[in-house]
Amino acid sequence: MRGETGRINLTVKKKLGEGGQGAVYLVEGAHGPQALKWYNAEQSSEEQKKGISYLVSDQEKILRSLGQAGRRFIWPQDLVTAPGATQFGYLMSVIDTRRFAELGEVWARLKPAPGLAALCEISYQAANSYRALHLSGHCYRDISSGNLMFDSASGDVLICDNDNVGVNRTSECQVWGTMEYMVPELIRGQAKPSTETDLHSLAVLLFNLWIWHHPLHGEMEFQLRSWDLVAKKQVYGQTPVFIFDPADQRNRLPTDPDYSTAAKRWGYCPPLLRAMFTRAFTAGLKEPAQRVTEGEWQGLFVQLKDGVLTCPGCQAANLWEPSMTSLNCWHCRKAIPVPPKLVFRHHGGKHYILLVKDAKILKRHVDPLTAEDQTGTVVGQVVQNPASPQVWGIRNLSPSPWAATLPDGNALEIPAQKAVPLRAGLKINIGGTSAEIIE
């Protein structure tokens, strides 16, 4: 075998896995260990080879257009052929499977489940990368949990199997998606893969990440005697009904232990997240224009991550969001005191940060349009006064002073590395963006 671009000879070391399109092998060449996806004979079409060649030849331009978000894609690096063989494949980077997990491994308890903060970050990064891909004029066409890997501790994401990426509504593809993630009009043959169909697949992926269940697997699926292709087309394409549809009760969760996890995890979700899922799988099932966009998911998960609260009683992580007037722990049901909030006001709306111990103010809070590689830069942090631990403040960790207005109307400058005490009504201008502390 050899890579076509650099004419590099490759040695196959071992098989890493197998899927519907082919098998993945660990190979060794002049550039060290790499992964090789080798297509089955029926998948080794000229159409597929043309698609891989485009992704390899235009790789630099495509990834440049994706920016920081593009680093999460495990991109095809070279087309691979073998003498006398009609089959072919492509090279990609080797994934550290000790660090990164698939959702199926979490479900099988082979890898740890992410906590709520990490789950928010995983969801944000996935939406962010697919948004960048779509803005570049491409569609993914096969979004599914099998193509997403994540670090359960940090929430970092990798997106694999990018060989079906193509120019939106232009390039052909022999793969239209994974049935469980395909939008109804695709299954009915009324549309072709596009960024609009990707939005449905992304919503299903996020629902699986949060609820550990498919949004259409309810009583209708439970009553089926054979889970064959005809049955799947019926559930996903012909008569799709959301299991938590507030207006249509036909597909509610059955009273069966196999469905109890979904009901429990749905209860963990704050109102805004439940509302977003409900829109995605009610109006969004029928109307492409009603589907939740990647930008909407991004904004939601950034807000939810800044609303993680630990129950002081049982230590369970909970999610607060701005529509809540109170919060009870999902685990022990006790009331959780909600701390003061720092509210940023942008052109696109408000963003809230709970001022808990060590809470960080990031550049993405100050400016939602900041460059992707700078969004995580810390510009401020909640701290305790060393001399009076009961006194809390916000320290300026940016290089420039902040302008502040005290609740009594007096102006104050907060130099770099200095802190201002937390007080309801305190207004701060951080990098040109106004923020205020509220109870």
Cβ–Cβ < 8 Å for 66, 73: yes
Residue 306 lies in a domain: no
Residue with the larger pLDDT of the pair 209 and 142: 209
The Cα 327–Cα 318 span in angstroms is 9
Kindly report the pTM of this predicted structure.
Answer: 0.91
Which amino acid would we find at residue 160? C
Residue with the larger pLDDT of the pair 148 and 57: 148
The DSSP-derived string for 327-343 is -B-TTT--B-PPPPEEE
Tokens 């109870």, located at residue: 439
Same domain, 113 and 77: no
Distances (CA, A) of 46 to 57, 78, 142, 168, 263: 16, 16, 19, 19, 46
Same domain, 282 and 150: yes
| pLDDT tens column, 89-127 | 999 999 999 999 999 999 999 999 999 999 999 999 999
Same domain, 114 and 191: yes
Same domain, 381 and 249: no
The bridge status of strand 138-139 relative to strand 157-159 is: unpaired
The Cα 318–Cα 336 span in angstroms is 9
Residue 329 lies in a domain: no
Write the Ramachandran bin of 141: left for phi over 0, alpha for psi from -120 to 50, otherwise beta.
left
The Cα 375–Cα 338 span in angstroms is 26
Residue 393: CA atoms inside 13 Å, Cβ hemisphere, count? Answer: 17
Residue 242 maps to which CATH number?
Answer: 1.10.510.10
Residue 176 scores a pLDDT above 70: no
The DSSP-derived string for 36-47 is EEEE-GGG--HH
Residue of 311, 307, 315 whose CA lies nearest to 328? 311
Helix 195-211 and helix 271-280: axis angle, to 10°? 140
Residue 311 lies in a domain: no
Residue 132 lies in a domain: yes
| pLDDT at residue number 263 | 95
The DSSP-derived string for 354-376 is E--TT-EEEHHHH-TTS-GGGTT
Where would I find the beta strands (DSSP E) of 107-187? 138-139, 148-150, 157-159, 166-167
Query: What single DSSP character describes residue 399?
Result: S
Same domain, 215 and 348: no
Domain total in the chain: 3
Q: Retrieve residue 152's tokens.
A: 């359960």
The Cα 393–Cα 373 span in angstroms is 28
| pLDDT tens column, 226-284 | 999 999 999 999 999 999 999 999 999 999 999 999 999 998 899 999 999 999 999 99
Residue 136 lies in a domain: yes
The Cα 227–Cα 8 span in angstroms is 45
Kindly state the average pLDDT of the residues 127-151.
Answer: 93
Same domain, 150 and 219: yes
Q: Retrieve residue 19's tokens.
A: 């899927």
Per-chain mean pLDDT for the chain: 91
Kindly state the average pLDDT of the residues 34-58.
Answer: 89
Q: pLDDT band for position 438 (50/70/90)? A: very high
| pLDDT tens column, 326-339 | 899 999 999 999 99
Distances (CA, A) of 249 to 48, 200, 286: 43, 21, 17
Same domain, 37 and 67: yes
The domain containing residue 205 runs over which residues? Answer: 103-300
